[in-house]
Structures are given as structure tokens and as C-alpha cells.
């Protein structure tokens, strides 16, 4: 199997590379990664932390997030049980209820900490936080910053705190190729622990960062699809490296598609936040017909999977490549005031929303599956923790409720930063001199392949197109099987190569994760949440479980969904 032949992407001898030592290595600098780093420092008097990001700080999905943070802040109309119930409903039977409860209950406290740290959220004239509504929420409970720039404000607050900490070192432009484990082969645990990572920096080349604990907060993989709201950095590197290291990946079929991204040929797929529909904007087709009430009684505020599929259906009915978002019901003045970022974006494309509805189309938005973690964010590999979009905590089930993702990053980032310190405490009890990261003699001995090389850029663009067409919003068994054959072919000629630059490594990661999404989608013979099978249009009790994928296995094992008390 080409997907399990390689433990590491490149050959190396760890002890011969430049060495860096730290207590905690955090891979990723979005909301989850920064929260984890700050939590580790806060909960341990001397822990040293390194945070890596493959680009600049501003390249994270967090920074790009327009939409807000869901939290129960109104105690008259709203309460935690309602937020829990909405999350469970969106999750279509696959949420782990204790996890949902924990995130929803802890969210307001985490948010208040950030407000105290300087996060400026939008407020009413009387000083109360402004609360908005988005799809799937029964109450107004979404907070925003600067209208449609919540992620930017949140990231800025976290970056300031990270930069201010003397015990956090920030490595930008640092591409993490692989997690290092002590076992000879992936999956050989116990015995195989995560002890650090191999990194590449354009200026410093390859380096090894040895760490007592590693927290994976490397985000998602939207770039596996031709149409995506994600930044170009979202190539699934974290998921792929965890898989190679033997970690269990869970529920990989579930990818959320956002219904409304700006659709202008040649322009990047900028998000038009769901909050716009929350404020009253409506979807119309090319003849101006408001179609969402034809599909669902919640109309434009139905959950994202329903809105995305309805848009596709309407595009087929009208023979048009997109639909439109009419913001006039909000009032143009109010639209400009409430969504200044989007208004500016539209101006750049000469779209006047007072006269022209915004052309929109669905795009891949959020990876719901990820590294399976327990309630302490521990993965199946000792020493490796995961949080945020890279993880599968059980919060999102089969479909994520809008604006629960920044919330999850805040809550589980904090948990990960605290939990990973258990590895520092362990040895401190016996021999304190062991209480530091140390080097291991790890050798990756890969021979260059003599098979002919495929055009990398072509593989990348073909796989993204195929994923969009056949493993996107609608899926069907025979097509998925064909895509798997294509992946096997590409993998045979691409995963056997040794690359020395990012494009090659990213394509290898995209192939690994695209193939896993497809395998999981092929295996799950039902429709549930974001996973819509044309050939199995109903949910099936037999699939009311988590599917778990380990390197080397051709089919998944399954795990029960934690019991739901609230229905
Ligand atoms: C949005 O603003 O519509 C996206 C928010 C989210 O993905 O939760």
C-alpha cells in the first residue's frame, strides 16, 4: 500500500541535524495553538514552549475567520442546555455529549479571559455585547469583533500574549515535516512515543525540535478541494504527519462545506459570513427567486449542509454556475456598518450590493474529522496531543454548528496546554535531570525511487478537482471507488519520491489526506450531517459510530459514540 510504505517523508539521522530542545512543542499558531502555548506557560512555572507556524502568523484559518464565537452570554432568553441541544442537533447523532457540555459550559469563562486580555468585541450602545444569530442556532449567541473580522481580533489578542511571554518562542516560516516517534514503525505503541518533530526553515534548513510533549494544532485541509475558504497553508500537513506517526484519525468523511463564498472567476473564494444571512440576507437564484423556503422551513438559516445542497440543486435547476445573496433586506446602510470587511471586498470587485446581489457558491470550509483525542486531548500516540480543527474531539459530530470552532480552539487549547504538562511532571518525581527533552538516535533510511516522476503541480490540481467533483457535497459509491483508484495511482508515483521543498511535501500530505477522506466516505454507506451519499440517502443505525483509521489498515475500526442524555 503506497500510503503506508513511508514512516517519514525524508531520510535523516536525527542526531546529525541541528538540535533544538523544548518542553512543549506546539505545531500551529491559530486560536488552538496559541491558547495551548499560553495555558502551558500559565500552568507550569518553568515550562518552555515553542510554537511553529508554516507561514506567517496571519496565515492561519483563525486569522481569516469572519464569523464569531458562539457562547451563552444572555441568561434570559438563552441557556447552556439550548446551546448544547443546538450543537447536538447539528452533529446528527455523532457528537459526544460530555464533550459538547464541557465546551459549551467552559466557553463563556474562556471568552471572558480573552476580553480581560484585551479582545475587543462589538457592543451595543449600553455596553452589552452584541449577540448575533447564525444557522442552526435557536438563540442569538454569537459575538463578533469589528463586524466581520472576529478571527483577526482574536488572533491579535493571542499573538500579543504569546509575544509577551518570555517562555514562548515563536518560529514563523517553519514547516513541520514529521513528528518523531521512538518506535521503529508507526503504530508500534507502547514503545513509540512522540518526542519531537523534524522541521524545515527556508533560512536554517532541516532541524530537529526535541520536546517532552507535542501539541498538534495545525488546522485543517481545505486545500484538498478545488473550492475552499481556507488559507493556502491548509494542506492537511498536521493530519498527515499524525497519521504517519501512528495516531488514530477519526470521522474523516465529515467535511463541512460553507454555502456562501464569493463566486467570481479567478478570484479566491472569500467567505461571505453566515452572519449576513443571520442579519436577514436571503439567497436568490438567477431569476431572483428566493429558493431556500422551498427546501427547508428554516429557509436561509437551515444548517450549512442543507443550505449547501439546496444551492447545488438550485444551480442544476437553473443551469447556472452559482446563486446570489441579496443583502438588501438587511438595509444597505446597516450592511455596510455591520460588515465593513465584506463591503470593502465587494467594492474591490465593483459589486454594489444596493443594486447587485452577491454571486455566491459553496466551498470546502472546515474539517470535522481529525486526530482522535480523549477528554485530555491525548491522541493514541503517547506524548502527542491535538486540539482545534486538527483534532476530532467529539464536539462537532457529523456537522459543526456555526461559530463553535473558535470556541473549541479556545477551550481545548487551554486543556491541551494543561494536560501535556503531565509528561513534565512524570519524571520530575523520580529523577529531575530527566525532566527535559533529550535526543534519540532516530534514523529514517529511505532509498530514492527510480519510478518516473509525475508533474507535481498537475497532481495537485487534478486531485483538488477530483475531490471537489466526487468527494464534495454529494458523493456516490462507484465514483468514490474510482477516485480511490486514482489516488492509488498518483500515490505510487508521488509518495515514493524524496522531495526537498514544500510543494512536494504538501502534495504528499494532500494525497494522504484526500485518500483518507475518500476511503472514509466510501466506507460510510449512509447519509449523515455533512456526508451526503446519493446511493444511501438515509442515516443508518449501523453507522451510528465513529470510524477510526490507522496507518497500515485497509478498513477502519469503530468506536461507540458517547451516550447522549440531551435529545
Ligand atoms: C461564518 O462566518 O460563516 C463562518 C463561521 C464558522 O465557520 O463557524
- The model's pLDDT over 302-340, given as tens digits with 9 standing for 90+, comes to 888 999 999 999 999 999 999 999 999 999 999 999 999
pLDDT for 436: 64
* Residue 2 forms part of a structural domain: no
Cα 318 to Cα 38: distance, rounded to the nearest angstrom: 51
Tally of domains in the chain:
3
Cα 367 to Cα 33: distance, rounded to the nearest angstrom: 16
Q: Does 398 lie in the same domain as 416?
A: yes
pLDDT for 437: 77
Q: Does 318 lie in the same domain as 248?
A: no
Residue bearing the CA closest to ligand 1, atom 5:
67
Cα 267 to Cα 270: distance, rounded to the nearest angstrom: 8
Can you give the residue range of the structural domain that contains 60?
Answer: 21-67+149-254+368-427
Among the candidates 363, 397, 412, a domain finishes at 363
Q: What is the CATH number of the domain that holds 59?
A: 3.50.50.60
Whole-model pTM?
0.95
Which one of 30, 31, 61, 66 would you pick to mutate in the ligand 1 pocket, going by the greatest count of ligand atoms within 8 A of its CB? 66
Residue owning grid cell 446519493: 534
What is the whole-number distance in angstroms between the Cα of residue 437 and the centre of ligand 1? 39
Catalytic one of 6, 167, 304, 400: 304
Residue bearing the CA closest to ligand 1, atom 2:
67
Cα 540 to Cα 547: distance, rounded to the nearest angstrom: 14
pLDDT for 368: 98
pLDDT for 1: 64
Supply the Cα-derived Rg of the chain in whole angstroms: 23
Q: How far is CA 470 from the centre of its chain?
A: 21
Q: Does 48 lie in the same domain as 154?
A: yes
Index of the ligand 1 atom closest to the CA of residue 274: 3
- The reply to whether 502 belongs to the active site is no
Report the pocket of ligand 1 as residue ranges, CB < 6 Å.
Answer: 66-67, 273-275, 366, 402-403, 405
pLDDT for 430: 47
* Residue 507 forms part of a structural domain: yes
Cα 430 to Cα 411: distance, rounded to the nearest angstrom: 32
pLDDT for 89: 93
DSSP code string of 361-384: EEEEEEE--EEE--TT-B-SSTTE
Per-residue pLDDT tens for 478-503? 999 999 999 999 999 999 999 999 99
Q: Does 264 lie in the same domain as 355?
A: yes
Distances (CA, A) of 8 to 51, 182, 244, 542, 553: 21, 13, 7, 36, 18
Q: What is the CATH number of the domain that holds 514?
A: 1.20.58.100
Q: Does 390 lie in the same domain as 242?
A: yes
Q: Does 374 lie in the same domain as 332?
A: no
Retrieve residue 338's grid coordinates.
455591520
Which one of 62, 275, 281, 404 would you pick to mutate in the ligand 1 pocket, going by the greatest count of ligand atoms within 8 A of its CB? 275
Tell me whether residue 567 is exposed, middle or buried, using C-beta atoms within 10 angstroms of its C-beta: 0 to 12, 13 to 18, 19 or more. exposed
What is the whole-number distance in angstroms between the Cα of residue 402 and the centre of ligand 1? 5
* Residue 236 forms part of a structural domain: yes
Contact 47, 421 (CB under 8 A): yes
Contacts of 68 (CB under 8 A, 6+ apart): 132, 134, 142, 143, 144, 145, 150, 275, 403, 406
Q: Does 407 lie in the same domain as 269?
A: no
Q: Does 302 lie in the same domain as 198?
A: no
Contact 379, 189 (CB under 8 A): no
* Residue 522 forms part of a structural domain: yes
* Residue 16 forms part of a structural domain: no
Q: Does 291 lie in the same domain as 387?
A: no
What is the whole-number distance in angstroms between the Cα of residue 403 and the centre of ligand 1? 5
pLDDT for 447: 85
pLDDT for 187: 42
Q: Does 174 lie in the same domain as 28?
A: yes
Q: What is the mean pLDDT of each run of 10 residues along the chain (567 residues)?
A: 84 94 97 98 93 91 90 93 96 96 97 96 95 90 93 95 96 97 59 90 96 97 96 97 96 97 85 92 97 96 91 96 97 95 93 96 97 97 97 97 96 97 70 64 87 90 98 98 96 93 96 98 97 97 97 93 66
Tell me whether residue 488 is exposed, middle or buried, using C-beta atoms within 10 angstroms of its C-beta: 0 to 12, 13 to 18, 19 or more. middle
* Residue 218 forms part of a structural domain: yes
Q: Does 50 lie in the same domain as 180?
A: yes
Distances (CA, A) of 379 to 68, 71, 416, 454: 28, 27, 11, 34
Q: What is the CATH number of the domain that holds 359?
A: 3.90.700.10
Q: Does 62 lie in the same domain as 166?
A: yes
pLDDT for 188: 44
Which one of 62, 261, 273 would you pick to mutate in the ligand 1 pocket, going by the greatest count of ligand atoms within 8 A of its CB? 273
* Residue 92 forms part of a structural domain: no
Cα 8 to Cα 246: distance, rounded to the nearest angstrom: 11
Contacts of 210 (CB under 8 A, 6+ apart): 19, 20, 21, 22, 180, 195, 196, 437, 438, 439, 440
* Residue 142 forms part of a structural domain: no
Residue owning grid cell 480543527: 389
Amino acid at each position: 500500500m503506497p500510503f503506508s510504505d513511508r514512516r517519514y517523508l525524508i531520510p535523516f539521522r536525527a542526531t546529525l541535524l541541528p538540535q533544538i530542545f523544548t518542553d512543549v512543542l506546539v505545531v500551529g499558531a491559530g486560536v488552538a495553538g496559541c491558547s495551548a502555548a499560553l495555558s502551558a506557560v500559565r500552568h507550569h512555572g518553568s515550562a518552555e514552549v515553542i510554537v511553529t507556524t508554516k507561514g506567517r502568523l496571519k496565515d492561519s484559518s483563525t486569522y481569516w475567520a469572519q464569523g464569531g464565537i458562539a457562547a451563552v452570554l444572555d441568561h434570559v432568553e438563552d441557556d447552556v442546555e439550548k446551546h448544547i441541544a443546538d450543537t447536538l442537533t447539528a452533529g446528527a447523532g455523532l457528537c459526544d455529549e460530555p464533550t459538547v457540555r464541557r465546551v459549551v459550559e467552559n466557553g463563556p469563562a474562556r471568552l471572558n479571559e480573552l476580553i480581560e486580555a484585551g479582545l475587543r468585541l462589538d457592543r451595543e450602545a449600553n455596553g452589552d455585547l452584541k449577540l448575533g444569530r447564525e444557522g442552526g442556532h435557536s438563540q442569538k449567541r454569537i459575538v463578533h469583533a469589528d463586524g466581520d473580522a472576529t478571527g483577526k481580533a482574536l488572533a491579535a489578542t493571542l499573538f500579543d500574549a504569546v509575544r509577551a511571554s518570555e517562555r514562548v518562542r515563536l518560529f514563523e516560516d517553519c514547516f513541520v515535516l514529521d513528528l518523531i516517534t521512538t518506535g521503529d514503525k508507526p503504530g508500534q505503541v507502547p514503545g513509540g512515543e512522540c518526542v519531537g518533530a523534524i522541521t524545515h526553515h527556508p533560512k536554517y534548513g532541516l532541524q530537529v525540535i526535541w520536546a517532552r510533549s507535542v501539541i498538534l494544532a495545525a488546522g485543517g485541509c481545505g486545500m484538498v478541494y478545488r473550492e475552499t475558504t481556507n488559507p493556502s497553508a491548509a494542506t492537511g500537513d498536521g493530519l498527515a504527519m499524525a497519521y504517519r506517526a501512528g495516531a488514530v484519525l477519526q470521522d474523516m468523511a465529515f467535511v463541512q462545506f460553507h454555502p456562501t463564498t464569493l463566486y467570481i472567476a479567478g478570484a479566491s473564494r472569500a467567505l461571505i459570513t453566515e452572519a449576513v444571512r443571520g442579519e436577514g440576507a436571503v439567497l436568490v437564484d438567477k431569476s431572483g427567486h428566493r429558493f431556500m423556503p422551498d427546501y427547508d422551513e428554516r429557509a436561509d438559516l437551515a444548517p450549512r449542509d442543507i443550505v449547501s445542497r439546496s444551492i447545488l440543486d438550485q444551480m442544476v435547476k437553473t443551469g447556472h454556475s452559482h446563486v446570489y445573496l441579496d443583502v438588501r433586506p438587511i438595509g444597505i446602510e446597516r450592511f455596510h456598518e455591520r460588515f465593513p470587511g465584506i463591503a470593502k471586498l465587494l467594492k474591490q470587485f465593483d459589486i454594489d450590493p444596493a443594486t447587485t446581489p452577491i454571486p455566491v457558491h459553496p466551498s470546502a470550509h472546515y474539517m470535522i474529522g481529525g486526530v482522535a483525542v480523549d477528554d485530555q486531548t491525548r491522541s493514541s500516540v503517547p506524548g502527542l496531543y491535538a486540539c482545534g480543527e486538527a483534532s476530532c474531539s467529539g464536539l462537532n459530530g457529523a456537522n459543526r454548528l456555526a461559530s463553535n470552532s473558535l470556541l473549541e480552539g479556545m477551550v481545548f487549547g487551554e486543556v491541551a496546554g494543561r494536560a501535556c504538562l503531565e509528561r513534565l511532571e512524570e519524571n520530575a518525581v523520580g529523577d529531575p535531570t530527566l525532566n527535559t527533552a533529550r535526543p534519540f538516535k532516530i534514523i529514517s533510511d529511505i532509498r530514492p525511487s527510480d519510478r518516473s516522476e509525475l508533474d507535481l503541480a498537475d497532481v495537485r490540481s487534478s486531485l483538488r478537482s477530483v475531490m471537489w467533483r466526487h468527494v464534495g457535497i454529494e458523493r456516490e459509491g462507484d465514483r468514490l471507488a474510482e477516485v480511490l483508484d486514482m489516488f492509488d495511482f498518483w500515490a505510487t508515483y508521488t509518495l515514493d519520491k524524496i522531495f526537498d521543498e514544500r510543494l512536494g511535501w504538501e502534495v504528499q500530505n494532500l494525497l494522504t489526506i484526500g485518500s483518507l477522506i475518500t476511503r472514509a466516505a466510501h466506507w460510510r454507506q449512509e447519509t449523515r450531517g455533512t456526508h451526503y451519499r446519493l446511493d444511501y440517502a438515509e442515516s443508518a443505525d449501523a453507522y451510528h459510530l465513529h470510524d477510526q483509521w490507522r496507518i497500515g489498515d485497509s478498513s477502519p475500526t469503530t468506536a461507540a459514540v458517547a451516550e447522549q442524555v440531551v435529545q
